[in-house]
Amino acid sequence: MIRCIWVLVFLLIMGTASSQNLSSPSSQSNQIDYAQPQQYRIGDIKVTGTTFLDANALISVAGLKVGDEITVPGEDISRAIQKLWDQGILGDIEVFITRLEGNEISLNFDLKERPRLSKVEFKGINKSQQDALKEKISIQKGKIVTDAVLNSTRNVIRDYYLEKSFLNVKTNITQKPDPALPNSVVLTIDIEKGNKVKISDIEFVGNEAFKDKKLERQLKKTKEKRFYRFYVSSKFQKEEYENDKQLLLDFYNSEGYRDATIVSDSVFKTKDDRLGIRITVDEGQQYYYRNITWKGNYLYDDAYLSRVLGIKKGDVYNKQELEKRLTYNPTGIDVSGLYQNDGYLFQSIDPIEVRVQGDSIDLEMRVYEGPQATIDKVMVTGNDKTSDFVILRELRTLPGQKYSRDDLIRSRNELAALGYFDPEQIGLNPIPNQAEGTVDINYSVVERPNDQISLSGGWGGPIGAVGTVGLTLNNFSTRKFFDWDAWRPIPSGDGQRLSLSVQANGKYYQSYSLSFTEPWLGGRKRNSLTASVFKTIRRSPSSDIDSRLNVDGASLSLGRRLNWPDDFFFMNHSISYNRYNLKNYALFQDFDNGSSNSISVVNTIGRSSIDNPTFPRRGSSLTLNINLTPPYSLFTDKRNNYEFIEFNKWMFDASYFINLAGNLVLNTRAHFGFLGTYTNDSEIGPFERFKLGGAGLGGGNIFVGTEYIGLRGYDDESVVNNADPTLRSAGGVAYNKFVMEARYLISPNPAATIYGLAFLEAGNNFASYDRYTPFKLYRSAGVGARIFMAAFGLLGFDYGWRLDDLPGQPQDAKRGMFHFIIGQQLR
């Protein structure tokens, strides 16, 4: 490289080549006179010294070719050398004159290639960091090692460790020839990362309206190192620091200090592994709204728009809040939404500060209403599995209708509720055409696996180990069943649901179920049809005689979406038949042999407006379920006869979601259940009772005619407010349960959606109505996590701590316990 630099300097000064080899040294006529530049025609060009590089390509890069006229001495050869050097692939360049006859000259470019990379070795860091850096640096074997490559490598390493708060990282790169490969080198990268640099102090200068601690809380990712702050990082990250400075200004603006600025800021070392931050602010003065007037509005009068805006004279001036209430308010109505829900897509509202006097600001809202927009085309992209009609039938935005922003958002929620797509990636893209007064709407979706396979095992109490195998096809297609090309691996895409499940423990316990759902019966209205059958066999492992319970059942249900009071309401009607056959099986008091028949009609009415089935952020769900058998006791004299089961069962569930901030959501729930008969002298039987406690999965004593409700922190089925052991084992006839749960979304990845939670809950189960005391509740608290995997459904665990003692429970009974959750437990 030193030789090349001297050659370039000489050429730039003298305008000649680096040296000459005259073909006829004795002939004075063939020697170059450096004092007298002459024109020569290139007769030949050769390249020597290269092994891997193509000679013809290098000559082309140099910009010279046979037949060209060049001046020697002159700038032609020096320009050729510079072009080759600019490629960064050569370590040395020399140009020789190999022949000179008359005005014809032959040139030889003698080049030295830069070495190529053989391998990279790291020193001073662990294996995981080496792997991460290799991926980021991405230097491939055989690549030419240039100065640019080395500088880029140093920068990547520096940036990698800066992100991890190693601000004093040192990198030394050395090259050594690889004896196994010609013209190849091994790069040894020696990294001394030093200690992580933490923030020791954050100081604010110039702040009078707010204390330092208040301002520091606005910096979300820039925090002082304190021993008690184990839950938050105090690393210094420049990018996050810049974002936090903007958050600081946003805070000032939200408090009315619209002129607030950061005058200066400095980051300085306090120790080798500590730094301090000093931020100097100019707060300016606090401003307030005074007069707000409207101009250009014809559809709505000033008073109505002002009420929707919700800003009053004397309120603190907050430009961000103003923008939210004008354009999009996720927690309430906004002015733009008022217009857009009536088709005025092209409207605009510009708030203009018409007067600033002292600390008061007058605003003029300049409104452009424009024409109403009609939906022209509705398109869907990204659905490579689900049929178009399955998506289009869920949409509220139809061609020919007026545009409505609420309908657009509602359509997104309906698509998310299907469960076929990643709810975080459902795109809404209105494409307005103001000249035509129309809008095209494009929905983009990202398919996610939603069929579920369950393979699980557990301990089923007295019957021992229980294994479960299940398959749920959530987007099945009977239409494609006989199309063999659609079996990849199963016919899918039409939104039907097929579920099969087998649960068994050898000869002691076996359960089989099959169900099918068509969500749009007939394809024109949102009417769903579900048919299901099941069979359960249970034998007593502790009996020497043949003791068994066989249950066979089937049900048929029809559901539909209602339009009144609004179209969030739904109704479902079903009829079910269960037959219980007992042989030496003590199910309830004197009932251990014979058959029971249960014919019931289930009516459900509810309302659901949740925005996402996997991780709801807002909305509510209300459900009233009434399960009725024929009132046999009203027209028969039979008493305490279980041949035909009689009951009426009422259940109410309510769930409400509030988005507190970003990914933090509060969910409150209330659940009630009541089981009764039609006459006062009829005894409530053992069927359809409630069992409360644990995770709500049955605790191994699985019985078909029982409602299992979870109460974390307590043993399975342990909560019954009655000391009678017979009634306790049968279950309760009424229960209450209340839950408050804070959820935080950790990972929105559709392959594994993860959120953590903290809960408070209380409930009780009553074995008879004379003991029903709704405010006598058993309380618990705890934490947990949920993982929703498309192939397996919802999995999770909770650690619950019971706050109360159950009657008859030992004083030293454990208070804390883990619960494993499978599936969505509404109650």
pLDDT tens track for 678-689: 988 788 888 899
Q: What is the 3-state secondary structure (H, E, C) of 681-745?
A: CCCCCCCCEEEECECCCCCCCCCCCEEEECECCCCCCCECCCCCHHHHHHCECEEEEEEEEEEEE
Whether residues 487 and 609 share a domain: the answer is: yes
Q: Which residue has the tokens 């749920």?
A: 472
Average pLDDT estimate for 678-701: 79
Residue 536 lies in a domain: yes
CATH number of the domain enclosing 384: 3.10.20.310
Does the pTM exceed 0.75? no
Average pLDDT estimate for 426-440: 95
Average pLDDT estimate for 87-106: 83
Query: 476: Cβ–Cβ under 8 A, 6 or more apart, which residues?
Result: 490, 491, 492, 494, 496, 497, 498
% pLDDT > 70, the chain: 89
Average pLDDT estimate for 567-575: 95
Whether residues 103 and 183 share a domain: the answer is: no
- Identify which of 405, 394, 280 has the alpha carbon closest to the alpha carbon of residue 344: 405
**Exposure pattern of 637-674 as b/e (b: 16+ CB <10 Å)?**
eeeebbebbbbbbebebbbbbebeeeeebebebebbbb
Whether the pLDDT of residue 20 is over 80: the answer is no
Q: Which residue has the tokens 């020193």?
A: 123
- Higher-confidence residue of 748 and 55: namely 748
Average pLDDT estimate for 548-574: 93
CATH number of the domain enclosing 518: 2.40.160.50
Whether the pLDDT of residue 13 is over 50: the answer is no
Boundary-marking domain end, from 192, 220, 253: 192
Q: What is the pLDDT of residue 26?
A: 36
Q: What is the pLDDT of residue 456?
A: 62
Whether residues 349 and 482 share a domain: the answer is: no
- Identify which of 194, 154, 144 has the alpha carbon closest to the alpha carbon of residue 174: 154
Whether the pLDDT of residue 827 is over 70: the answer is no
Q: What is the pLDDT of residue 136?
A: 83
Whether residues 658 and 729 share a domain: the answer is: yes
Q: What is the pLDDT of residue 291?
A: 96
Residue 827 lies in a domain: no
Q: What is the pLDDT of residue 137?
A: 83
Residue 682 lies in a domain: yes
Q: What is the pLDDT of residue 195?
A: 82
Cα 64 to Cα 42: distance, rounded to the nearest angstrom: 8
Q: Which two tokens stand for residue 26?
A: 């004795």
Band (664; pLDDT cuts 50, 70, 90): very high
Q: What is the pLDDT of residue 808?
A: 74
Q: What is the pLDDT of residue 724?
A: 52
- Identify which of 430, 440, 291, 426 has the alpha carbon closest to the alpha carbon of residue 355: 291
E runs forming strands in 414-547: 427-433, 438-444, 452-459, 465-476, 496-505, 509-518, 527-539
Whether residues 585 and 533 share a domain: the answer is: yes
Whether residues 356 and 481 share a domain: the answer is: no
Strand order in the sheet with 348-357: 288-295, 360-368, 348-357
Q: What is the pLDDT of residue 729?
A: 63
Band (638; pLDDT cuts 50, 70, 90): low
Boundary-marking domain end, from 52, 80, 113: 113
Whether residues 263 and 293 share a domain: the answer is: no
Whether the pLDDT of residue 641 is over 70: the answer is no
Average pLDDT estimate for 367-379: 96
Whether residues 404 and 528 share a domain: the answer is: no
Residue 312 lies in a domain: yes
Q: What is the pLDDT of residue 725?
A: 52
User: Which range in 526-535, 767-776, 801-810 is most confidently predicted, on average pLDDT?
Assistant: 526-535
Whether the pLDDT of residue 15 is over 50: the answer is no
Residue 446 lies in a domain: no
Whether the pLDDT of residue 217 is over 50: the answer is yes
E runs forming strands in 237-373: 261-271, 274-282, 288-295, 348-357, 360-368
Residue 447 lies in a domain: no
User: Which range in 34-43, 218-227, 313-322 is most confidently predicted, on average pLDDT?
Assistant: 313-322
735, 708 in Cβ contact below 8 A?
Answer: no
Mean pLDDT over the full length of the chain: 85
Q: How many CB atoms lie within 10 A of CB 340?
A: 24
Residues in the chain: 827
Q: Which two tokens stand for residue 337?
A: 């939404």
Whether residues 753 and 741 share a domain: the answer is: yes
Q: What is the pLDDT of residue 465?
A: 60
Query: 411: Cβ–Cβ under 8 A, 6 or more apart, which residues?
Result: 394, 395, 396, 397, 428, 443
Band (14; pLDDT cuts 50, 70, 90): very low
Q: What is the pLDDT of residue 32?
A: 67
Work out whether strand 452-459 and strand 438-444 pair parallel, antiparallel, or are unpaired.
unpaired
- Higher-confidence residue of 625 and 333: namely 625
Whether residues 386 and 517 share a domain: the answer is: no
Band (127; pLDDT cuts 50, 70, 90): confident
Instruction: Please state the φ and ψ torsions of residue 169, each to the nearest 5 degrees.
Output: -65, 140
Q: What is the DSSP string of 385-450?
A: SS-HHHHHTT-S--TTSBP-HHHHHHHHHHHHHHSSB-GGG-EEEEEEETTTTEEEEEEE--B---
Question: Which of these ranges, 221-230, 547-556, 742-751, has the smallest mean pLDDT?
Answer: 221-230
Whether the pLDDT of residue 21 is over 50: the answer is no
Whether residues 676 and 560 share a domain: the answer is: yes
Q: Give the HSE-up count for residue 70: Cα atoms under 13 Å, Cβ half-sphere.
A: 27
- Identify which of 464, 513, 530 has the alpha carbon closest to the alpha carbon of residue 700: 464
204, 281 in Cβ contact below 8 A?
Answer: yes
Q: Which residue has the tokens 């076996």?
A: 510
Residue 506 lies in a domain: yes
- Higher-confidence residue of 270 and 742: namely 742
Boundary-marking domain end, from 64, 88, 113: 113
Work out whether strand 184-192 and strand 198-205 pair parallel, antiparallel, or are unpaired.
unpaired
> What residues are paired with 500 via a beta bridge?
471, 514
Q: How big is the CA angle at 97 (ends 94 and 102), to the nearest 5 degrees?
A: 160
| Structural domains in the chain (count) | 6
Cα 788 to Cα 795: distance, rounded to the nearest angstrom: 6
Q: Which two tokens stand for residue 704?
A: 């078909």
Cα 83 to Cα 63: distance, rounded to the nearest angstrom: 8
Whether the pLDDT of residue 52 is over 80: the answer is no
Work out whether strand 274-282 and strand 261-271 pair parallel, antiparallel, or are unpaired.
antiparallel
**Helix 75-86 / helix 55-62 crossing angle, nearest 10 deg:** 120
Whether the pLDDT of residue 505 is over 50: the answer is yes
Band (295; pLDDT cuts 50, 70, 90): very high
Band (586; pLDDT cuts 50, 70, 90): confident
Residue 638 lies in a domain: yes
Band (70; pLDDT cuts 50, 70, 90): confident
Q: What is the DSSP string of 753-801?
A: EEEEEEEEEEEEEESSGGG--TT--EEEEEEEEEEEETTTEEEEEEEEE
Band (824; pLDDT cuts 50, 70, 90): low
> What residues are paired with 740 via a beta bridge?
668, 760
Whether residues 123 and 209 share a domain: the answer is: no
- Identify which of 568, 577, 628, 581 has the alpha carbon closest to the alpha carbon of residue 601: 628
Q: What is the pLDDT of residue 706?
A: 84
Band (114; pLDDT cuts 50, 70, 90): confident
Band (543; pLDDT cuts 50, 70, 90): low
Whether the pLDDT of residue 674 is over 90: the answer is yes
Q: Would you give the DSSP letter of residue 62?
A: H
402, 437 in Cβ contact below 8 A?
Answer: no
Cα 659 to Cα 670: distance, rounded to the nearest angstrom: 18
Give residue 146's domain range: 116-192
> What residues are paired with 124 via a beta bridge?
none
